């Protein structure tokens, strides 16, 4: 997974699909450093930030969209 795919929509869909699956039954990976920020108009812009803070924010935002408490591989 990655926030860049569908500007967060893919993460939301995967999270919804996995909602009823026991967490021990799957391994989930994602990319880091991609932040979604309001852009011009209704669109989101992908901002790349590979600083320590940017990576931490990227992971937390992905977890929120996924509705999970952790990913297994970054």
Rounded Cα gap, residues 58 and 62, in angstroms:
6
Res 13: pLDDT: 94
* 62 part of the active site: no
Res 16: pLDDT: 96
Lowest mean pLDDT among 6-20, 40-54, 57-71: 40-54
User: Out of 1, 2, 4, 5, which one is annotated catalytic?
Assistant: 5
Ranges of each domain in the chain: 5-66
Please state whether beta strands 44-48 and 34-38 pair in parallel, antiparallel, or not at all (unpaired). Answer: antiparallel
- Band of residue 43 on the pLDDT scale cut at 50, 70, 90: confident
In Å, how far are 21, 31, 41, 65, 66 from 60, measured between CA atoms?
21, 12, 25, 9, 10
């Amino acid at each position: 997974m990655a926030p860049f795919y569908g500007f967060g929509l893919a993460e939301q869909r995967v999270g919804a699909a996995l909602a009823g699956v026991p967490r021990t039954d799957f391994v989930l990976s994602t990319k880091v450093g991609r932040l979604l920020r309001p852009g011009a108009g209704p669109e989101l812009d992908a901002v790349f930030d590979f600083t320590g803070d940017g990576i931490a924010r990227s992971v937390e935002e992905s977890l929120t969209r996924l509705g999970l408490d952790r990913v297994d591989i970054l």
